[in-house]
């Protein structure tokens, strides 16, 4: 069975259940035509994560980010209402706000000095007397707002498609896992200061795959597993007992399992000592009080890696990471990683969280550089797609239930990607 | 005592460190650090003197993790660095910056070139050292590598020692 046809009439996926095959055309990582379709059919139509509420905590706070290829200015106005705009001057296109973050009541473009309020309206411009009195009556000289802006439990998203279904519907079953993160705090989560900003010379979809791919763990990351064993006294490396992989619908996927690592909320490991154990026990007790034993156990002990289609990853593992990856060209993406933690956490708890994060995660950790290496060599190979044309993501195909090391969530990603790319439309 | 450490001594020490890194003598390199030490690379969007206890860094190693980092890097299964990169650690503008509790503060500017798979990346910034005498030998109590970069783009990683 072949599905997915583009202008050159070649299929992008090759699915054959009788042989347990799920193959992805490698030209999907290379061809500019596909990249263009992704920008219009995926990044212009899906809900895209922009920021966590704690990054714009106070009135007048703002951040600027390039998301899905679009420069976005995201802010809270003086009343605390969240707003999002294309960070492009309506006059001649210069970047309106050139700082990464800050606090401002208005924004002045450097080029000709047009000034915009937090409501996006043009407040003033030099030589105003030379413009017609009704020059901006139609609002065409205001900042262009993003058509839809919404949040789920502090995670803010925008959508460039005014007709797209609501965020909560789009997230669907992924909300259950966002809940699992946010419920770890009694007062709310916060992004901890310090952003890991890096890049990979590879196609953005390779990071989507990698983020929900546990299969590669033992083979690609033995040095991290060695480190854990020598450091934490953990007994069962990569213990996936009871672990499962789920297709969450809409292209989202998750792998939930028991990792070998300690979790600041709230799974103790011997390396944290007796005082650490008392602290972790207290956190665990409070969770049990709030949610009952069963849910508290899941919140405390279970790890998950989740992809929210197309380019947001939330990993609730030895620490919590919010990772986004933005396509720049078919062979280059920009990544951003933040560490998320309960706002009430400080001292040794916070230190544990940060240590856990940078040991494994991030471009100088004991694992991520090896992921990047694998991805970049794969991207290099795809130049030869005419001769070696297909990627395989078949592991677990014949099974009714996906184990934690199967590739089911990756197939969910590709199926949604293919559906959107090949859907009739512009 | 700190006042006996000369500019020349510090320069020689830093140049020798650079050679060790370029020659992949990483176990020797760890030997340059004091028993209690820190090796830090802050994120580039926070103040250079931020505390790793409350800020996300790229690297925030104590002695144990530093040793483990080197053990990892010397393995063939540290895939990002095997086959090994060729690196060139350029050190300049070495300056002594006074003392703290008998330790000597020094800074150097750096440009480190890393070549692997025919791609050469350049890391630039300033190393900030706190140097101490331990059993008569000069040792690094803290090395803070402050990148003069906007994130790790296009490098994508700090897979070796910058």
What average pLDDT does range A74-80 have in this prediction? 97
The pLDDT assigned to B82 comes to 96
In this complex, the residue of A194, A332, A368 whose CB is nearest that of residue B50 is: A194
A281 and A181: one domain?
Answer: yes
The pLDDT assigned to B15 comes to 98
What average pLDDT does range A182-191 have in this prediction? 96
Query: Is pLDDT at A367 greater than 70 in this prediction?
Result: yes
Across the interface, whether the CB atoms of B46 and A193 are under 8 A apart is answered yes
Query: Is pLDDT at B1 greater than 60 in this prediction?
Result: no
Query: Is pLDDT at A112 greater than 90 in this prediction?
Result: yes
**In whole angstroms, what is the distance from residue B57 CA to residue B68 CA?**
18
What average pLDDT does range A313-333 have in this prediction? 97
A319 and A401: one domain?
Answer: yes
Query: Is pLDDT at A82 greater than 60 in this prediction?
Result: yes
| Residue A4 counted as domain residue | no
Instruction: Report chain B's terminal Cα–Cα distance, integer Å.
Output: 29
| Residue A226 counted as domain residue | yes
Number of domain units in chain A:
2
| Residue A260 counted as domain residue | yes
The answer, for B80 touching chain A at a CB cutoff of 8 Å, is yes
**In whole angstroms, what is the distance from residue A145 CA to residue A84 CA?**
6
Which one is predicted more confidently, A1 or A66? A66
The pLDDT assigned to A260 comes to 81
Across the interface, whether the CB atoms of A192 and B54 are under 8 A apart is answered yes
A178 and A140: one domain?
Answer: no
Domain boundary among A108, A135, A159: A159
Report CA dihedral (A198, A199, A205, A206) to the nearest 10 degrees. Answer: -90
Please write the tens of the pLDDT for every residue from A36-48.
999 999 999 999 9
In the numeric block, which tokens belong to residue B117? 């798979």
For residue A101, the chain B residue with the least C-alpha distance is B45
Domain boundary among A107, A124, A159: A159
Please write the tens of the pLDDT for every residue from A121-158.
999 999 999 999 999 999 999 999 999 999 999 999 99
In this complex, the residue of A197, A224, A346 whose CB is nearest that of residue B153 is: A197
The answer, for B49 touching chain A at a CB cutoff of 8 Å, is no
Query: Is pLDDT at A117 greater than 50 in this prediction?
Result: yes
Please write the tens of the pLDDT for every residue from B13-29.
999 999 999 999 999 99
Chain A environment of B77 (Cβ under 8 Å): 222-223
Contact in structure between A22 and A411 (CB atoms under 8 Å): yes
Query: Is pLDDT at A332 greater than 60 in this prediction?
Result: yes
Please write the tens of the pLDDT for every residue from B31-85.
999 999 999 999 999 999 999 999 999 999 999 999 999 999 999 999 999 999 9
Domains and CATH numbers, chain B: 2-147 (3.10.450.50)
| Residue A319 counted as domain residue | yes
Nearest CA to CA, how far is A221 from chain B (Å)?
8
Percent over 90 (pLDDT), chain A: 83
What average pLDDT does range B125-134 have in this prediction? 97
In this complex, the residue of B79, B150, B152 whose CB is nearest that of residue A373 is: B79
The pLDDT assigned to A9 comes to 61
Chain A environment of B152 (Cβ under 8 Å): 196-199, 363
Q: pLDDT confidence of A104, banded at 50, 70, 90? A: very high
Across the interface, whether the CB atoms of A197 and B44 are under 8 A apart is answered yes
A311 and A203: one domain?
Answer: yes
In the numeric block, which tokens belong to residue A170? 């789009």
**In whole angstroms, what is the distance from residue A255 CA to residue A268 CA?**
21
The pLDDT assigned to A5 comes to 47
Contact in structure between A397 and A409 (CB atoms under 8 Å): no
The pLDDT assigned to A230 comes to 83
Chain A environment of B45 (Cβ under 8 Å): 100, 194-195, 197
The pLDDT assigned to A235 comes to 52
What strands, in cross-sheet order, belong to the sheet with B103-116? Answer: B57-62, B33-42, B137-147, B119-134, B103-116, B86-100
**In whole angstroms, what is the distance from residue A207 CA to residue A313 CA?**
9
What average pLDDT does range A160-180 have in this prediction? 98
**In whole angstroms, what is the distance from residue A50 CA to residue A75 CA?**
11
What is the CATH number for A135?
A: 2.102.10.10
The pLDDT assigned to B43 comes to 97
Structural domain of residue A76, as residue ranges?
48-159
| Residue A43 counted as domain residue | no
What is the CATH number for A335?
A: 3.90.380.10
A126 and A151: one domain?
Answer: yes
The pLDDT assigned to A119 comes to 97
| Residue A33 counted as domain residue | no
A140 and A175: one domain?
Answer: no
Give the C-alpha distances (Å, rounded to integers) separating A353 from A45, A192, B5, B99. Answer: 35, 10, 38, 33
- DSSP output for B87-118: EEEEEEEEEEEEEETTEEEEEEEEEEEEEETT
A85 and A196: one domain?
Answer: no
Across the interface, whether the CB atoms of B56 and A376 are under 8 A apart is answered no
For residue B157, the chain A residue with the least C-alpha distance is A363
Q: What is the mean pLDDT of chain A?
A: 93
Residue whose tokens read 């934490």 = A232
A228 and A113: one domain?
Answer: no
Domain boundary among A127, A159, A191: A159
What average pLDDT does range A171-179 have in this prediction? 98
Contact in structure between A374 and B79 (CB atoms under 8 Å): yes
| Residue A7 counted as domain residue | no
Nearest CA to CA, how far is B93 from chain A (Å)?
26
A274 and A362: one domain?
Answer: yes
Query: Is pLDDT at A3 greater than 70 in this prediction?
Result: no
Ramachandran angles phi, psi of B69, nearest 5°: -60, -45
Chain B environment of A220 (Cβ under 8 Å): 79
**In whole angstroms, what is the distance from residue A158 CA to residue A152 CA?**
11
The pLDDT assigned to A238 comes to 62
A314 and A175: one domain?
Answer: yes
A313 and A399: one domain?
Answer: yes
Q: pLDDT confidence of A346, banded at 50, 70, 90? A: confident
The answer, for A361 touching chain B at a CB cutoff of 8 Å, is no
Instruction: Report chain A's terminal Cα–Cα distance, integer Å.
Output: 25
The pLDDT assigned to A10 comes to 76
Across the interface, whether the CB atoms of A193 and B117 are under 8 A apart is answered no
A234 and A356: one domain?
Answer: yes
Beta strands B137-147; B33-42: pairing state: parallel
Please write the tens of the pLDDT for every residue from A308-320.
999 999 999 999 9
In the numeric block, which tokens belong to residue B140? 């690094």
The answer, for B68 touching chain A at a CB cutoff of 8 Å, is yes
Chain B environment of A354 (Cβ under 8 Å): 52-57, 60
| Residue A13 counted as domain residue | no
Ramachandran angles phi, psi of B146, nearest 5°: -100, 110
């Amino acid at each position: 069975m072949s599905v997915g046809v583009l202008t050159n009439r070649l299929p992008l996926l090759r699915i054959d259940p009788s042989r347990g095959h799920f193959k992805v055309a490698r030209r999907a990582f290379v061809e500019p035509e596909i990249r263009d379709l992704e920008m219009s059919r995926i990044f212009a139509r899906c809900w895209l994560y922009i920021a966590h509420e704690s990054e714009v905590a106070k009135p007048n706070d703002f951040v600027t980010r390039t998301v899905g290829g679009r420069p976005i200015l995201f802010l809270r106005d003086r009343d605390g209402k969240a707003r999002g705009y294309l960070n492009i001057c309506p006059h001649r296109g210069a970047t309106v706000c050139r700082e990464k973050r800050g606090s401002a009541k208005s924004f002045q473009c450097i080029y000709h000095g047009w000034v915009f309020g937090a409501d996006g309206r043009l407040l003033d411009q030099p030589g105003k007397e030379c413009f017609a009195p009704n020059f901006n009556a139609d609002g065409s000289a205001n900042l262009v707002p993003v058509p839809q802006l919404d949040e789920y439990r502090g995670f803010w998203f925008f959508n460039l498609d005014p007709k797209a279904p609501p965020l909560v519907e789009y997230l669907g079953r992924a909300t259950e896992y966002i809940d699992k993160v946010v419920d770890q705090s009694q007062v709310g989560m916060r992004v901890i200061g310090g952003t890991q900003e890096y890049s990979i010379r590879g196609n953005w979809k390779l990071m989507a795959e990698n983020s929900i791919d546990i299969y590669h763990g033992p083979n690609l990351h033995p040095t991290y597993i060695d480190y854990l064993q020598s450091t934490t006294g953990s007994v069962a490396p990569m213990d996936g007992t009871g672990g499962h992989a789920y297709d969450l619908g809409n292209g989202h996927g998750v792998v939930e399992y028991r990792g070998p690592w300690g979790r600041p909320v709230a799974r103790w490991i011997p390396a944290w000592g007796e005082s650490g154990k008392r602290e972790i026990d207290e956190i665990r007790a409070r969770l049990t009080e709030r949610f009952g034993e069963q849910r508290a156990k899941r919140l405390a002990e279970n790890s998950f890696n989740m992809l929210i289609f197309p380019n947001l990853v939330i990993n609730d593992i030895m620490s919590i990471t919010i990772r986004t990856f933005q396509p720049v060209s078919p062979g280059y993406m920009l990544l951003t990683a933040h560490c998320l933690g309960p706002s009430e956490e400080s001292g040794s708890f916070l230190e544990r969280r940060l240590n856990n994060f940078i040991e494994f995660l991030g471009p100088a950790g004991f694992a991520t550089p090896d992921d990047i290496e694998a991805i970049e060599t794969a991207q290099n190979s795809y130049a030869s797609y005419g001769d070696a044309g297909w990627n395989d993501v078949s592991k677990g195909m014949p099974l009714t239930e996906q184990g934690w090391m199967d590739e089911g969530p990756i197939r969910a990603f590709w199926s949604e990607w293919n559906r959107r790319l090949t859907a009739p439309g512009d | 005592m700190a006042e006996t450490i000369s500019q020349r001594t510090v320069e020689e020490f830093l140049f020798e460190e650079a050679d060790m890194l370029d020659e992949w003598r990483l176990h020797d390199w760890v030997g340059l650090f004091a028993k209690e030490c820190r090796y830090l690379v802050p994120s580039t969007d926070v103040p250079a003197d931020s505390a790793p206890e409350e800020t996300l860094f790229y690297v925030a190693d104590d002695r144990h993790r530093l040793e483990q980092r080197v053990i990892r890097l010397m393995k063939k299964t540290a895939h990002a660095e095997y086959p090994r990169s060729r690196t060139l650690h350029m050190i300049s503008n070495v300056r002594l910056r006074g003392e703290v509790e008998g330790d000597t503060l020094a800074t150097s500017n750096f440009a480190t070139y890393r070549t692997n798979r025919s791609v050469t990346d350049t890391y630039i910034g300033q190393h900030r050292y706190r140097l101490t005498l331990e059993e008569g030998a000069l040792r690094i109590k803290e090395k803070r590598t402050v990148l003069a970069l906007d994130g790790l783009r296009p490098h994508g990683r700090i897979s070796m020692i910058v």
